[in-house]
Amino acid sequence: MHLVRRVLQYEYPKYRKHLKSLDLDSRVLRFGFAVKDEVIDQLCDEFEKNPQQHVLFCVEDINLEFVGVGHIALQGEMELAFSVLKEYRKQGIGDALIQRAARYCRTRGILKGQMVCLSTNTAIKKLCAKNGVKMTTGHGETYGSIELSPVDLPTIIQEQASAHAAATDYFIKRAVNFLVVHPN
Ligand SMILES: CC(C)(COP(=O)(O)OP(=O)(O)OC[C@H]1O[C@@H](n2cnc3c(N)ncnc32)[C@H](O)[C@@H]1OP(=O)(O)O)[C@@H](O)C(=O)NCCC(=O)NCCS
């Protein structure tokens, strides 16, 4: 099981590092085209300036580096985006991130939006289908429309439970890191 944690606003610069760690193919799938580091910098400047419009969820390694991020952009129409570092893929991290992002939106009544989805992106199509995210893409279009089902009681309970579990995991990892750096 992967614990997905809400990224705090002061940690947003770590998202920049995560996005820049993506290789070219992954950048094309994530953004719809081959973005350069400078474009990532411009986008991240915007996210950091307006953090209330960008909700981020992460899965971290033991050193608290982001290995996967789910991004809900809320300026204008809602947009979902996901990225998992190549060496961590096919372990269920993308699945955990999309579940959490979808629950966040559903519990707040945000049910319609969009997502970059190239026709070749089998992984994200599979993840959307598995997690009740209905995706409609026009032929050859980079963006797909997405629709989430309305919230139900189990979703509200799960949203609370996963937020608490992830916060606990984060504090344990911070304590372990502190003890490694300051052993006495
Ligand atoms: C899409 C992405 C986030 C998926 O992350 P992930 O951690 O590998 O996903 P998971 O391990 O949870 O895989 C979930 C399912 O998708 C399947 N899957 C993953 N990668 C796949 C691939 N390349 N081709 C086919 N299926 C794939 C897995 O087999 C799994 O299915 P299963 O549960 O039936 O076995 C990751 O591939 C990624 O970062 N891609 C680049 C960016 C991107 O495409 N973002 C989405 C658009 S914004």
Q: Where are the domains of the chain?
A: 5-110+150-164
Distance in Å, CA 179 to ligand 1 centroid? 35
122 lines ligand 1 (CB under 6 A): yes
- State the average pLDDT for the chain: 91
124: Cβ below 6 Å to ligand 1?
yes
What is the per-residue pLDDT across 111-120, written as a single tens digit (0 to 9) for each? Answer: 999 999 998 9
In the CATH scheme, what is the code of domain 5-110+150-164? Answer: 3.40.630.30
Q: Does 133 contact ligand 1 (Cβ within 6 A)? A: no
pLDDT cut 90: percent of the chain above it: 71
- Please give the order of strands across the beta sheet that includes 112-116: 5-6, 54-60, 66-73, 78-84, 112-116, 143-148, 133-137
Q: Could you tell me the pTM of the whole model?
A: 0.90
